[in-house]
Amino acid sequence: GCILDGKLYPFGEIARTDNCFRCSCSPDDMRCCSLFHTPDGYDKENCKVIFNKKSCDYDVVQKSDPSKECAVYSRV
C-alpha cells in the first residue's frame, strides 16, 4: 500500500482520504488531488474561511456570527 500522513492506504483508487484528497496508489507512486476549492471571491472584510472536514470543503461565514454563511462569488 501507500502511506499518506502516517496512514496506510491500499493499492488502487482511494475515493477520499482523511485529509480530503482523492488518490491513486500504485507500487511505484501515489498521486493525489484535492476534493476542495479555496474560496477567492467573497467579502473578506466581514467574512472568514473555515475548513469543513466533514464536507471536504471551505465554509465562508460571517466573522460576527459564524452560524451565518456569506456569499462566495468564485473559488480556485
Note the pLDDT tens digit of each residue in 19-48.
999 999 999 999 999 999 999 999 999 999
pLDDT at residue 50 greater than cutoff 90: yes
Question: Do 44 and 64 reside in the same domain of the chain?
Answer: yes
Question: Do 10 and 27 reside in the same domain of the chain?
Answer: yes
Average pLDDT over residues 59-65: 97
Global pTM reads 0.72
Question: Do 65 and 47 reside in the same domain of the chain?
Answer: yes
Whether residue 59 contacts residue 50, with contact meaning beta carbons closer than 8 Å, is answered with yes
CATH number for the domain including 54?
A: 2.20.25.590
Question: What one-character-per-residue DSSP string does 4-35 give?
Answer: ETTEEE-SEEES--TTSEEEEE-SS-EEEEES
Give the pLDDT confidence score for residue 75 in this predicted structure.
87
Structural domains of the chain, count: 2
Question: Do 6 and 29 reside in the same domain of the chain?
Answer: yes
Show the domain range for 55.
Answer: 39-75
Question: What percent of the chain stands above pLDDT 70?
Answer: 100
Q: Name every residue whose Cβ is closer than 8 Å to that of residue 13 and which is 6 or more positions away in sequence.
A: 22, 23, 24, 25
